[in-house]
Structures are given as C-alpha cells and as structure tokens.
Structure 1
Amino acid sequence: MGIFGDFDVDGASSSALLHRYFEAVGIDHEVYIPDRLSEGYGPNIPAMTGLVEQGCELIITVDCGIAAHEPIAAVADLGAATIVLDHHRPDETLPTADAVVNPNRRDDDSGVGYLAGVGVAYLFLIALNRVLREDGFFEGREEPPLLEWLDLVALGTVCDVVPLKGLNRALVAQGLRLLAAPTTAGLSALHSMGKIDGAVSTDHLGFQFGPRLNAAGRMGQSRLAFELLSAPSHEEAASIATTLDLLNKQRQGVEQDVLKAARAALKDSADDLPILLAYGEGWHGGVLGIAAGRLKERFGRPCLIGHVEDGLVKGSGRSVPGINLGEAMHQALAKGLAVTGGGHAMAAGFGVPLDKIDAFHKHMCDFALQAMDGEPISDPLVLDSWVAAGAVNPGLADRLARLAPFGSGNPEPVFGVRGVELTQADIVGRNHVRCRFVSNGSWVQGIAFKCAEEPMGQALLSGIGKRFDLAGTIRLNEWNGRVKVDFVLSDVASYR
C-alpha cells in the first residue's frame, strides 16, 4: 500500500495518522511526501507510478489528489487502485479513482465541508475500523487506539486554519488535552522545544509547532515533518526537531529578504489596486505564502506573491473576508489565464504564464471589485467590547479561556482599552515589543508580536509618556508556576 501525502502540517499529520493506523494493523506501506520546490503540490505521474513499481497495489492520497486526474489515471493503467482523501474543492469532474472521499463533493450532504484533510483521514479510519471490527479482523488482537490519536488531528486542523466549529471544535478540544502530556516521540520533541509550561493552546500549535513543521517543505526537506510526527524514538525525534528548528530560523531570514523585495515592488501600487501582486526573479518559493500573509495584514487587502520560474509566475495568495481567492482562481483557470491553481476562500496558489500575468491580475482585481459590490476592500479590526484597564485581570482572562479553542470560525474576543499612558516599551525576542500602560492606578502589561519595525512597533517604542487607545486580546500567561495576564496588542492609536 502507498500513502501519498502533502508537505504542509495538515498533509504531514494526515500521513502520520494513516502510518500509525496501518502500522498498528500490520499492513506494509510506503509513505511518499513530494518535494515542495521541485515537484510542487499534489500527486504527479512519476511519483505515483513509482509507488506502483515498488509493489503498491493501492495508493491512498491524503490532503491532496482531488485534482490529480492524470496521475490517478496512470495508476489505473498499471492495474493499481487509488483512494482519494481530500478536502479541497473539486473540479467539475472528479478523478477516476476507485473512491473519492471529500466532504466538498457536489453530491456530498454530510455538512462537514469545513474539515481539514486530517479530519477527513480520521473519519475514514473510523469507518475502516468499524468495517474491520464487523468482519472479525480484531478477534484476538487489540484495535488501534483512535481516540489517542486526536493529537495529530488537532495539530493538522489548527495549522490548516479551517473553521473551529462543529466537529472540528470537538476534535481539537480533545486533541489539545492529549497534547498537554504528549505520548509520542515527535510531539514530545515539539512540546519540549516550545518550552510549553501548562496547557497547550491553538496558539502553541499555530505559532510554535506549525512553523517548525512547515519549515521542512519550505526549505526543501519536505519529508522531515512526517518523519518527526512518526519518529519511533525520542532520540530520533529530538534530532529531527533540532534540524527543523534550524530550518525554521533559515526560513525566517529568507522570508525577510522576500518581504523586503515585495514591499519595494508594491510601493507604487499599494494604494490603488483591490488585489496586490508582486513577483520577481530568485524569490524563494518556500516562503511566498507567508510573505503574502504578512503583506495582506500590512495593507489590509488580498495579496499575491510569486516568483518567476521557466516562464511561469508561481506563487501564493492570502485574502480578506468577502473575497474568495479559491473561487477567483477556479475562474482564472477556466478562462485560460492560469495553468495551475486552486485553494480556499482565504488562501490560494497559482501558476500563470508570464505573458498572461497582467490579464490574470486584472481578472483577480475585477473579481474582488464585483465581490465587494462597491464596498471598500479592507481587513477590518472589529472590537467585541471596550473594557477598563482594571478589567484586564486573571478573572476575566480565565473566563475567556473557557471559550477556547480559538481559531478560524471561533475567533478570540478582541477588546479595546481607552486612554492608557505608556510607561515602558522595549524590544524582546525576535522583533517583539513588550510594553506597559497605566490608567487610574491599574496596570496593563502588553505584548506586540513581530512588529518592532512596523508602524505600531515604532509608535510604541517612541511613545513613552503618551496616551493610547489599545485593541487586543486578553490571555493568561503561565510560566514556571506563575500566572499573569498579557494584553496581546492587535493595534494602537493615539488617544484623543
């Protein structure tokens, strides 16, 4: 049997989940993770037929495969079977696989189209386990402990930024409980490297575990994320985790280079266009999505970032609410403006011939304008409530924590605090700003992540003694047995 996965966290988690299961039931299998930089996303003919040549009679694709018509047909021509487990939007025609499990099929009425790839894989294993149980397969042997594997489901679900609602919310909540005391070597290594003290949150997964795992694919070692999540020993896991940490630090440096170049390319168009596009020669393909996300946050509108390779502009985009990038890409493909592409409402990939890039950009801008129907394109910061400085305390933070897990579809409440005086601000860690405010004898301890060189960071670092209005989230911060409250800043404005 072959398992064809993906190089992101969702794909690595899905692959590791199936690997755990088939190892537990004694099925020989091979796991293939494509190289992000040389092979790109999804099944390709050489890799798929290579698995058949290695003796795989069945190939299961996880978190990919829904658009792999030719590779799946090539597998069938060799006499092997294929099962597609995916959650991405299908084309008009499904691939000719033996089974296509995708909650976003047009004929699917399950209502769980919000699942990540790992969620689809988990439900598939539940169904497979039930059939094997009914057939007597587990007589005299233990069933795989599927409930104990929700740690992987939580990891992939959170890092794929799918809505944390319905079934996803239940899967992630239970998975986070398991991650507080991880039982597998790979997740234990990530837990230790993150120096987590206390409960594991979606922030830990999204901002500590996820970047390290994603660094594998971004920096040209795509298989490492899967190898960590399936590592058989703590020694091997620790070694892989150290490598991933080094790759993540390299990724951060490369990301800054691409961001600097993209900002320069956008400086003349950032104020005029509904969707921003920047591309260049030599920009590292592994960090384009991150750069697009950073620039989307900076300019408040969708951003597409690409690099030129073999006559194509290949890249990634990130969007704002109301503009469905995945749908826009499907229309671009249908019009012949792109040769590859697809994705979700908030994120998409694209491959566009260089001689069509202007027409492609115009199509994307026209789509955005039509979608917004005359409304201004923005990524608004919406406050849930104003609170007094004295209300930013452990009692409120504890009550808010009960609403977790937070993420897409269940955002963390955002609060405003008016007219507080900044008494301290300095840079900590990698580009973060730690600050302290006071109002009527009450202190607010603030932290603004990755913003020391951004307008907000500069305003704070030069604003000692000034009064500000704050927007942000209220969180408990546990460290070495001590509990304090952080006001995690989303934005600041001069008080008037």
Structure 2
Amino acid sequence: MAAPAERGSDAVAREPCQPGTRSARAAGCQWIVAARRRRVARAGPLPVRPGPQRRAARAGLAAGGTRRFRCRVALGHVDGLASPVRAVLAQGLARLGRRLGPARLGSRVAAAGRALGARRPRRARCLRPAGGGDLRAGPQRRGAAVAAARVARRSAGDGAVNAIQLVERPHDPAVAARLANAGVPAPLARALAARGVASASELEFALGDIHAPALLAQCHRAASLLADAIERRQRLLIVADYDCDGATACAVGLRALRAMGADVDYLVPNRFEFGYGLTPELVELAAQRHPDWIITVDNGVASVEGVERANALGIGVVITDHHLPGERLPAARAIVNPNQPGCAFPSKNLAGVGVMLYVLTALRGELRNRGRFDQATQPRLNGLLDLVALGTVADLVRLDRNNRTLVAAGLRNIRSGRIQPGIAALFAVSGRNAAEARTEDLGFSIAPRINAAGRLTDMTVGIECLACDDPDRALELARQLDRLNQERRQIEAQMQLDAISGIDPAGFEQRRSIVLFNPQWHQGVVGLVASRVKERYHRPTIAFASAGGDVLRGSGRSIEGVHLRDTLDCVTKAAPELIERFGGHAMAAGLTLRERHLAAFTEAFESAMRAGADPSLFARSLVTDGALAAAEIGPDLVDAIERIVWGQGFAEPVFANDFDVLEQRLVQERHLQLTLGLGQSRLPAIWFGHIETLAPRARLAYRLKFDTYRGLRRIRLQIAAAAD
C-alpha cells in the first residue's frame, strides 16, 4: 500500500474525531483504505465496516486498480456489549493495525483497538418504571417522538390506568370443530366461532351478495332526481365532510358522476370557519358557484337550517349521510341514510362513502333504464372500491358482513394494482406495500395522512389527491399530506402531554367521564387527544379547544357500551342552555358550547353517565381468544389470520398466554422490545407505546404479526396488554 503522501490529498487519512462533531458522538474514527479486492476479503471478519462503493471505484478495480472504502471503527455501537466481547474486538483491531504496519493508517487502527480495550461501557439511562428494573434508552428523538416519550414516562407509574382483566371469549366447540374440518387452523376456528361465523363459506365475499340499493329508503328517488339533472345538464355541487370518509365519498362521487356525464364540482368546508355540516353560511358560499343541486356526502342529516336556506335560494338538496338524525329531519328533496326513521336497510353500519356508492349504483341503473348506456358501456363502479374500502375502514364503522364484503373487494383491487393514483401515492409515501395491503394499512397509515388535511387546513388537498388521475401530481399531493401528518403528530403529542399532565391519576377513578380544555389546543386535533385519553383511562372523554371569543368546540370518544350521542342528548334535555349544537353516533360525537358553561356541562355530563351507564362498563377488561400452544404459533396461522378482513365490530384475534420474560429493552425511548419464552420456544415481541419493565413471569395478551426486516420475514408478537 502506498504511503499517504503518494496517494493524493483526497486519500490522506482523516484526523481523529474532534469532540462535538457527529463522528465524535458515534465515538468512531474514520479513514480511507485503499486495497485490492483480495486484501479486503481477508479483512472482512475484522471489526471494520466498509461503506458505500462508488461506481468509479468499481470501474478502476475492474481495470486492475485499487478501490477505496470509507470505514469506521464504531466504538459507540459496542457500548452495550459485555467486557469480554469488547476485549475480543480490541484484540482484532490490534492485529489489523500490526498487519497494516507502522504507516499512519496502521497506527490509527491500533490506537482504536487500545481505546476500545480501555473503554468503559456507557451507563444505561434509568427510567425507574413502576415495575422495577432499568431500561437502556437510545438517543432522544425530536418532535413528536420526544413528546410521546414524555407522555409515556408521565403515565408509567399509574397502576390504575394499566390494570386490566383478561377475559376469554366464549365459543361453540362444535362450530369451531366444523370450521377446523373445513381447513381453518384450529386457533382461528375458535376465534371465528366466537364471532358468530358458522361455516367457512362465510369467509368468502362476493359483491353480488351485498344488500340491494332498493332496500335503502329514498335511494331510487335520489337516483331519479340526479338522472333528471344530468339529462337537463344542470350543475351539481358535492358538499363533503372534512374527514377521510367525506373525502373518499366526494372522490367516488366526482369520478362516477363525471363518468355518467354530469356537470359536477365539489366544496368542502374549512372546519375552523364553517364547522360541521351544511350550515346556512356554507350554503351562501356554495351559491356563489350557481349550482342547481347540492349533494351532501357524509353530512347533512342534521342540517335543518342549511337546507332551509338552500330551498330559499332555489337550490335542490339531496342528502347522503349515515349519522344518527335528530328529532327533526331537513326538508331536502331526498334523504338517503340507513339510520333515518322508516329505513329498513339491513346494514345500519354503512359509512358515508358506502351510502354514496349505493346512490351511484342506483343512478347508473336509472340511466341505463333510460337508454343512456347499456351493460357493456356503463361506467364500472367496482373500480372505485379502493376508495370505498379506505373510507369505510377510516370511519371506524362496524364491519358487518355487508361492509366486510365492500372492504374485501377494495383490498383485492389494491393488492392487484387496480388502484387510484392518489391511493398508490399515499402507499408510497407511507412506506407501505400496496400488494400486501390490509385494513390496518388503511386505518393507521393512509387515512391519517388524508385526515391531517382536514384537521390542520382544509380537506381540499386530500380530495384532490384522491380524485387526481395524474400519478406525478398525485405523488406531489401525497407528499403534502405526509408533511401535514408529521405536523399533526407533533401537535397531537404535545397536546396529549398537556392532557395527561392535567389528570389526577387517583381522582379520575372516582369519575365516569373526563372533560378537558386548554385554550392553546388545536381545534382539529382535539378528537385525537380525546381518543388517546379514552384509551388510557377507559373513560368517555371530551376534549375542547377555543373557537374564538367565548365559543368552545369539542370532540368526544366513548368506550364500548356507552352511547356518546345519546348521553349528550340526555344532557341537552336536562339542561337545554348548555350545548348549542351537537351530533355524532355511539362512539364519537362533536359539540359546541360557551366557555362560561364548561364547568356546568362537565358536571351534567358526569351525572348523565352515572344515570345511564352500567358501572361494570368502566372496569378495564380485554376480551381474548384464549391461549395458544407453542406448536400452534407458525406461518400458516398468521397467513390465515391476515387473509381475513378484520376491523371495528369484527376484531382481529387476541390471544393470551403466561410467558417467561427472557429479555426486555426500550427502543426509541417509547416501545418495549421483548424476547418471551413459551415452552421451549423463544418468541420476539414488541409492545408499542409501553415503557414499563415486566416481571420475569407475565400473562400477556397479544396479536400475531409478520415482521419484515431487511427482506426477512418472521413472526413477532404484538403485545396488547398485561394482566393485572
């Protein structure tokens, strides 16, 4: 090897790392090594890591020249190793230094070896969790990750919050045996039997099996009105809600109506200016576009005043919605809502996008009957099922058989590549593989990015992304949504920290509800904070933010068995002056009130909870599907689980076992990584958002997941809870 002076200035070995530099933080030393291929091969087993190879270097090597590598002896990466292991690495570096000779490079390698041998391991950060023991914490993350870690630490010692009972879900052994005989793995057969599945044929979903549009009240009336409007070339305006369900319903409407020849545009309200629904103020804004018809999607059933204003302006209104109506229905030309009085539609769980799909299906049939097209030339609405699946999963409606059929068809489209450019772009920016799409990808990766637009600005960018046909433009919009989602996560993490800080862990046990308010909170994110607090404390929770002046806007989330909208209705009947407006359904609701009424509302809400809810509902419990034998945990079972559509009302199986906790450590300051012993098996596991150490023996509830790392797929247990 040539001396440094003979190799040019670009090849001179670097000086040792200086304190305060990035390399110093990694506690490593860098240099340039020039070697022929065979010499590098001999050095491979030694603790030196070659960096990226350059194309020019490859070309030079092919011509018989030398190749340069940037290498690092990464002392910072061995701090956690036992002293004997560090000693072996130090000896290896010393041997490499002697082999390279007394030149500057050899002396540096030898010096690195001496430093490693003398180096003492870094002391692990002790978080002093309630369960006892220390956890090794990695470097702090910025933004949302740091705030989330603070939230986890703030609540780590709250034993009342984390106490939970694991209850096994009962099942019919005869049904489970019948499913197992049909080829369903036995643990999954037990889980399906417990969910009311009686035969393997119920796991097959064909679009021809969904309920007919004729069963949906006023669906054909709406179709006839819209068919008349299309034939007369009248202008249609879709008024959408500002969440993912509303955005997907709007995109489905735009694509299908344009394919049927309609003159259609859309309007989505800014939640900070107009609030929810078809308000009179929003109708005035819509009127500036001179529509003949307004079609609401995912809203409108409570918009009595807004519809009155539209009627006064001569604008016809067709409402498509799925929310629970109030005592008075709007005077619209047609209302399509499976939850309105007198509607016999068997599935009351359609999302807003599902209702819109039914209206469009009926409209296509009406236009076909009028001779506008035939079976061969009619628009193919099944190409929109990826949007329907996304909106249905995102809105957390119960996945009854009708909804599971729609979602299953949408997932088949996504996996096979029959996908809207916007959804494809969202899969790309979220790092998810569309070819292996599952409901959790839609609910936890794609939907939050779309919802971020409605939470922080307005939903226009989300709708444009879903309705866009240009892949490049769709990717640009998806990146905007991804940036908004990152911002949303940071805001949410700080708000969650504020919320947890304001709750007395001992005092909340005496209450049935939680009401939160902070004047600095973001209106668009309070619903997420309410959801996180509800999950942590198992109490119906409403979080409020200031909407300007004395006005507060709140968003609430409830627990299973406690109907939130009905509870707010009870509050309104008992104290009509407290709530100005409200709406929603069993598990989520929104409301507006004056700040001067907040204290009175808090007590009225608590009183309504005590009067109307069974006390047993407030005890934390998790229903599981029983224990698994170690031999039952394998790829066949996980594959079978992943082929089924799971979601709200048809929960993915959760199993429970007593484990030996063999290893545990903290990753990213907020997740507990584990190695668990079950019989003779060692099983990797992860508990997201949990930082408390576990006892050497623990009863844990878990889901079975595939984890792919560097192209290798393995089974990993995803911990859901620990028994108290």
From the superposition, tell whether residues 103 and 376 of structure 1 become closer, same or farther in structure 2 (CA, over 3 Å): closer
Q: Residues 661 and 698 of structure 2 are in contact (CA less than 8 Å); yes or no, is this contact kept in structure 1? A: yes
- What is the CA-CA distance between 1:46 and the residue it aligns to? 3.0
Q: 2:403 is matched with which residue?
A: 168
User: 647, 657, 663: which is aligned to 1:407?
Assistant: 647
1:427 counterpart letter in structure 2: V
Question: CA deviation digits over 1:119-170, x for unaligned, max 9?
Answer: 1000011111100000001159832111111111100000000011121010
Q: 2:540 is matched with which residue?
A: 302
From the superposition, tell whether residues 20 and 275 of structure 1 become closer, same or farther in structure 2 (CA, over 3 Å): same
Q: Residues 423 and 438 of structure 1 are in contact (CA less than 8 Å); yes or no, is this contact kept in structure 2? A: no
User: 601, 605, 608: which is aligned to 1:364?
Assistant: 605
Q: 1:189 is matched with which residue?
A: 425
Q: 2:705 is matched with which residue?
A: 475
Does 1:355 pair with 2:599?
no
Does 1:85 pair with 2:323?
no
Question: CA deviation digits over 1:177-216, x for unaligned, max 9?
Answer: 1111243210110121232234211100010001111110
Q: Residues 301 and 378 of structure 1 are in contact (CA less than 8 Å); yes or no, is this contact kept in structure 2? A: no
User: 666, 669, 672: which is aligned to 1:426?
Assistant: 666
Q: Which structure has more RCO (C-alpha within 8 Å, separation ≥ 6)?
A: 2
Q: Residues 36 and 222 of structure 1 are in contact (CA less than 8 Å); yes or no, is this contact kept in structure 2? A: no
Q: Say which SS state the counterpart of residue 509 (structure 2) adopts.
A: coil
1:187 counterpart letter in structure 2: I
1:196 counterpart letter in structure 2: R
Q: Say which SS state the counterpart of residue 271 (structure 1) adopts.
A: helix
Question: CA deviation digits over 1:356-391, x for unaligned, max 9?
Answer: 223322232222223333435134211211123443
Once structures 1 and 2 are overlaid, which stretch shifts more, 184-193 or 377-386? Answer: 377-386
**1:37-186 pair list within 5 angstroms:** 37-138=272-373, 142-180=377-415, 181-186=417-422
Once structures 1 and 2 are overlaid, which stretch shifts more, 372-381 or 360-369? Answer: 372-381
- What is the CA-CA distance between 1:27 and the residue it aligns to? 1.5
Q: Residues 471 and 490 of structure 1 are in contact (CA less than 8 Å); yes or no, is this contact kept in structure 2? A: yes
Does 1:448 pair with 2:687?
yes
Q: 2:563 is matched with which residue?
A: 324
Q: Residues 333 and 340 of structure 1 are in contact (CA less than 8 Å); yes or no, is this contact kept in structure 2? A: no
Q: 2:476 is matched with which residue?
A: 239
1:487 and 1:140 mapped to 2: Cα distance?
Answer: 49
1:305 and 1:89 mapped to 2: Cα distance?
Answer: 21
User: 235, 238, 241: which is aligned to 1:6?
Assistant: 241
2:288 and 2:681 mapped to 1: Cα distance?
Answer: 69
Q: Say which SS state the counterpart of residue 391 (structure 2) adopts.
A: helix
Q: What TM-score comes out, normalization by structure 2 length?
A: 0.64
Q: Residues 385 and 406 of structure 2 are in contact (CA less than 8 Å); yes or no, is this contact kept in structure 1? A: yes
Once structures 1 and 2 are overlaid, which stretch shifts more, 361-370 or 477-486? Answer: 477-486
1:30 and 1:276 mapped to 2: Cα distance?
Answer: 41
From the superposition, tell whether residues 376 and 142 of structure 1 become closer, same or farther in structure 2 (CA, over 3 Å): closer
Does 1:458 pair with 2:683?
no
Question: CA deviation digits over 1:318-364, x for unaligned, max 9?
Answer: 11111100111223334412112121111111212222223322232
2:617 and 2:333 mapped to 1: Cα distance?
Answer: 46
1:323 and 1:381 mapped to 2: Cα distance?
Answer: 16
Q: Residues 383 and 418 of structure 2 are in contact (CA less than 8 Å); yes or no, is this contact kept in structure 1? A: no
1:400 and 1:177 mapped to 2: Cα distance?
Answer: 16
Q: Say which SS state the counterpart of residue 616 (structure 2) adopts.
A: coil
- What is the CA-CA distance between 1:416 and the residue it aligns to? 0.7
1:401 and 1:471 mapped to 2: Cα distance?
Answer: 18
Q: Residues 84 and 97 of structure 1 are in contact (CA less than 8 Å); yes or no, is this contact kept in structure 2? A: yes
1:9 and 1:379 mapped to 2: Cα distance?
Answer: 30
Q: Residues 552 and 594 of structure 2 are in contact (CA less than 8 Å); yes or no, is this contact kept in structure 1? A: yes
Q: 2:525 is matched with which residue?
A: 287
Q: Residues 422 and 468 of structure 1 are in contact (CA less than 8 Å); yes or no, is this contact kept in structure 2? A: no
Question: CA deviation digits over 1:400-448, x for unaligned, max 9?
Answer: 234x2111110011111213223243315x9443332223331222122
Q: Residues 421 and 468 of structure 1 are in contact (CA less than 8 Å); yes or no, is this contact kept in structure 2? A: yes
Q: Residues 448 and 488 of structure 1 are in contact (CA less than 8 Å); yes or no, is this contact kept in structure 2? A: yes
Question: CA deviation digits over 1:438-486, x for unaligned, max 9?
Answer: 233312221222x1xxxx42225xx6xx332211111234567643222
- Is the helix fraction higher in 1 or 2? 2
1:40 and 1:184 mapped to 2: Cα distance?
Answer: 29
- What is the CA-CA distance between 1:93 and the residue it aligns to? 1.2
Count of aligned residue pairs for this structure pair: 483
2:546 and 2:619 mapped to 1: Cα distance?
Answer: 28
Q: Residues 425 and 436 of structure 1 are in contact (CA less than 8 Å); yes or no, is this contact kept in structure 2? A: no
Q: Residues 677 and 683 of structure 2 are in contact (CA less than 8 Å); yes or no, is this contact kept in structure 1? A: yes
Q: Residues 86 and 101 of structure 1 are in contact (CA less than 8 Å); yes or no, is this contact kept in structure 2? A: yes
User: 497, 500, 505: which is aligned to 1:260?
Assistant: 497
- What is the CA-CA distance between 1:222 and the residue it aligns to? 2.2
Structure 2 unmatched runs, 5+? 1-235
1:457 and 1:93 mapped to 2: Cα distance?
Answer: 49
2:375 and 2:705 mapped to 1: Cα distance?
Answer: 49
From the superposition, tell whether residues 241 and 433 of structure 1 become closer, same or farther in structure 2 (CA, over 3 Å): farther
1:477 and 1:111 mapped to 2: Cα distance?
Answer: 38
Q: Residues 659 and 676 of structure 2 are in contact (CA less than 8 Å); yes or no, is this contact kept in structure 1? A: no
Once structures 1 and 2 are overlaid, which stretch shifts more, 57-66 or 225-234? Answer: 225-234
- What is the CA-CA distance between 1:314 and the residue it aligns to? 1.4
Q: Residues 564 and 585 of structure 2 are in contact (CA less than 8 Å); yes or no, is this contact kept in structure 1? A: yes
CA RMSD of aligned residues (A): 2.0
Q: Residues 320 and 379 of structure 1 are in contact (CA less than 8 Å); yes or no, is this contact kept in structure 2? A: no
Once structures 1 and 2 are overlaid, which stretch shifts more, 388-397 or 160-169? Answer: 388-397
Does 1:486 pair with 2:716?
yes
1:136 and 1:376 mapped to 2: Cα distance?
Answer: 56
Does 1:211 pair with 2:448?
yes
Q: 2:65 is matched with which residue?
A: none
1:206 and 1:109 mapped to 2: Cα distance?
Answer: 29
From the superposition, tell whether residues 424 and 140 of structure 1 become closer, same or farther in structure 2 (CA, over 3 Å): closer
Once structures 1 and 2 are overlaid, which stretch shifts more, 264-273 or 116-125? Answer: 264-273
1:399 and 1:232 mapped to 2: Cα distance?
Answer: 35
2:367 and 2:448 mapped to 1: Cα distance?
Answer: 37
Q: Say which SS state the counterpart of residue 360 (structure 1) adopts.
A: helix
| Greater radius of gyration (CA) | 2
Structure 1 unmatched runs, 5+? none
From the superposition, tell whether residues 72 and 366 of structure 1 become closer, same or farther in structure 2 (CA, over 3 Å): same
1:222 and 1:330 mapped to 2: Cα distance?
Answer: 29
1:383 counterpart letter in structure 2: T
2:447 and 2:424 mapped to 1: Cα distance?
Answer: 14
1:218 counterpart letter in structure 2: R
User: 269, 272, 285: which is aligned to 1:34?
Assistant: 269
1:488 counterpart letter in structure 2: Q
